[in-house]
Amino acid sequence: MKYEALVQNIQRSFFPLLLPGPGILMHQDFMHFYESWIHVAMYLLRDRFEPVCALPDSGTFIFRCKAQPDEDQLRFPDNVTVLAPELIEDAYDWAAGLVPEEQRDTIAAAHTMMYVHRSDFKQAVELFKRYCTRGSYGDSREFATMTDYVAATHGIDLRTRI
């Protein structure tokens, strides 16, 4: 799910093939800053997929299929700008609660990146401040990588906007 537009396609093609009970979904980029839409997509499917565990030293999170999602649940917008901010915040609160403390920096970096993807740089800077100056992620490798990426691709240095 490297791009927003792929989420719905992958969900509609692959997720219906997962059997409730034994069906396992491994999201290899759940704990990576860039693919920030994965958290919202899985939050929307939280009644259909049970969180199992975060794999240590990895960006992977495992879910078990509890029930077949219906076709309407597998719809996801091609652009995250149409997502309601309240939905995004709820999804990231949920996602942060799934992973161990030592891996929450990855969720926080993805949360910040969600607003970069939405071109809401004011909110991205606010989250960066919250997570890096008031939180404990200032020395996070994931945050450093995300910050370097934003600077290189958007010309915005989140560190200097604090």
Cα–Cα distance measured from residue 138 to residue 130, given in angstroms and rounded to the nearest whole number: 10
Give mean pLDDT in consecutive 10-residue pieces for the chain, a chain of 162 residues: 90 94 95 96 97 92 96 92 97 96 93 96 93 83 93 89 57
Report how far residue 51's alpha carbon sits from residue 61's, in angstroms, rounded to the nearest whole number.
Answer: 8
- Residues ≥6 apart with Cβ < 8 Å to 46: 94
Question: Which residues are CB-neighbours of 134 under 8 A, at least 6 positions away?
Answer: none
Which pLDDT score is estimated for 57?
86
